Chain A
């Protein structure tokens, strides 16, 4: 349970950023930890359990996503769901502007414009995963992870005209 306590919020943030609802995210996390229990019970490797749980959660979330897509929602609509989870107050209202929140909106727009895989890399890195773990979860090479993160951060840096 201590691993669950450590990872629950991190996993949920990642799943929300993938476009899952909080209730679907909870179910995915439960299933992932039940799978972990069986994994350990069968005497399977105990190294890098964090990466393992993220990988299983990611795959279950994709399955959930397929379930959504099969009901004739398009990828574009799914991306919109992911964006809505992330951008709670997408449209800048006058108060935001008065509070000098335009920069935040600009950064949100950068995130929205990123390719899905780049958003996932960034989301996993933000939750503390190493490049090796990210590569494992997303089935990418280490080089591809590093390029993706570099590309995304460069876009964030440019958002301020830096």
Chain B
């Protein structure tokens, strides 16, 4: 009997409070809340440097660079004369363009560049291509 009475009382309370809440409206928040919160949010946003989510994270980047360099090194070990013979077929006619003055002015540069092992060039180009691709995909991902 006591339990029943208690249950009835609970239901009454519930009904009464529900009834009261029908007229309830949240209090009007002071305008300063929005202003101050937005000031703080914008301040926080302005302080943060623009961040891109890199598709290639730092750990992976070194593995990829190493792998790419290894592939380039293997490629270099392939007989280079095949490539040079193929390029030789496209010899430009010296009658049409005079290369002598260009050769003279750049002669010293070419003789210096010729002393550097080719693998350095391959690795350099490989790294640049990889960084370029990373940058490109970064932009694409954060567009």
A binds B: no
Residues on B close to A: CB < 8 A? none
